[in-house]
A and B are shown apart, each in its own frame.
Chain A
């Protein structure tokens, strides 16, 4: 049978949307053996069905090809999904792209993408939106949690769709864009924003009171003027003790101590401090 070159098999926009929706389940079958392998293959199903319609052997090959180890940051993982779709499309139209090429591109991208994606999404995007929401929630404002949930998910869905679309349109060429300093700028900018906001959180959204009395005297109008350690510290800069505690936690965490152990240490500090009367 002769291949009709003028009739290219193409994925439709609907296929791309379906694939994007299915990528929600990227981690559903996460396991220690091949991690997101099933999820990746699952997201590709609409594409495989479209491209290899009526070719059962090709479908088997494609399914096996994409059940291999895969693990990267979700949402922006869709950039790799898009690139894979572009390569599969070319392959379905007769281009000589073998299993190894497709695999090599995928394996080559998951590491660098996670290297940028994990700090950006888990280290900055979610903590920053969560911090804004939590700072409202702590005062009993229910708008905080709602804002967090809505804004986070709108950004997530936007990222998922555009990552897929750009990956599909640019194909392997995206590698060149990644090599430019675009990603470095993004990571550095995100770190600046993150550190700046955390700095504000340390003063405003913590509460420590050291009630040790330094001096007290009766003022002329008969009221007592009490100077405590906390009031002196507050004159220097409110939140100074919290800042020191934060640095202490950073040091301990860097030594590989689990966050839960550090939290218990902090509770112990609070119990002992309040029992001795140096914390209130």
Chain B
């Protein structure tokens, strides 16, 4: 059992509601695990654990993105559940994350529903346009955010209730040791799924050499990721400056000019 104050519950619900709105607007990166888990850790009194869970979940979900009309799994619900389970429910980080991932699938379904319902507001906005009602359009664009806020806050409340009464821990305590141990082991490499998604996104076989360069450089040096970012940027700029593909395009223009000038002489 865990003592949670009224204000902690309110604060968590506010974070969940803002996250729900931002996960659709995709503006502030507030709903990303790195932000949400750390904030939940802060509220629950263990910001360090919150940051560790957030960092791990962020790596797993690096390549999750909504492209076009396709909905990606929603990292928000997972980022709300994992810190609650780990900090409040005293589970290991691996178990917390493993239990939170199904929530991402559930979040995907909820996300589809809360993106279908605003069609109603779209039609109300059409009526506002007929009447030249500018404020009406603004209001109808913003009203669906209430749905999105609920999409974050309601599941968060249910989880808090379940963990608060100890139902969840009792269930998790029934898990055999080899499973909880296995989940902890998996926690070390589960992040590769996120990496794989990002690499697939780049999708350029002839550039894969740069992946191996980063790999081998990291394997045998002690540089941190900021250094890798800077080195990567320098390599990218150099590659483009020296690439004959771009170089000759520019050359052609200049040489044509030179030719034209020669003919004038």
Contact = CB atoms under 8 A, between A and B. Distances in A.
B43 to A, nearest CB: 14
A246 interface: yes
Interface stretch (A91-99, A167-175, A198-206, A220-228): A198-206
The B interface is mostly helix, strand or loop, or mixed, namely helix
A121 B196 CA distance: 17
A127 to B, nearest CB: 4
B137 A208 contact: no
Given A49-B134, A250-B200, A63 B129 contact: yes
Contact of A200 (B51, B126, B225): B225
A25 B179 CA distance: 44
A48 B132 CA distance: 11
Interface stretch (A1-9, A79-87, A189-197): A189-197
By size class, the interface of chain A is: 35 or more
B225 A132 contact: yes
Interface string A132-163: 11111111111011001100110010000000
Contact of A29 (B121, B199, B212, B249): B121
Nearest to B222: A204
Q: Which of B59, B128, B181, B217 has the most CB of A within 10 A?
A: B59
Q: Which of A71, A124, A279 has the most CB of B within 10 A?
A: A279
A194 B198 contact: yes
B174 interface: no
A24 B30 CA distance: 13
Contacts of A139: 52, 55
B246 A185 contact: yes
Interface stretch (B3-11, B80-88, B112-120, B163-171): B112-120
Contact of A199 (B52, B132, B215): B215
B86 to A, nearest CB: 13
Contacts of B67: 114, 118, 122
Interface of A: 22, 24-35, 37-39, 41-42, 45, 48-49, 56, 59-60, 63-64, 67, 71, 74, 114, 118-119, 122-124, 126-128, 130-142, 144-145, 148-149, 152-153, 156, 181, 185, 188-209, 237-239, 241-243, 245-247, 249-250, 253-254, 258-260, 262-264, 266-267, 269-275, 279-280
15 contacts: A30-B115, A31-B117, A38-B141, A45-B137, A63-B129, A67-B137, A191-B202, A192-B207, A192-B232, A197-B214, A197-B228, A197-B232, A198-B199, A267-B190, A270-B190
Given A34-B122, A193-B229, A264-B101, 16 more contacts: A33-B122, A67-B137, A130-B29, A133-B58, A137-B51, A149-B29, A153-B28, A188-B239, A188-B240, A200-B215, A200-B218, A202-B192, A203-B215, A262-B196, A271-B182, A279-B185
Interface of B: 21, 24-30, 32, 34-35, 38, 47-49, 51-52, 54-56, 58-60, 62-69, 72-73, 98, 101-102, 104-105, 115-119, 121-122, 125-126, 128-132, 134, 137-138, 140-145, 178-179, 181-183, 185-193, 195-202, 204, 207-208, 210-220, 223-226, 228-229, 231-233, 235-237, 239-240, 246, 249
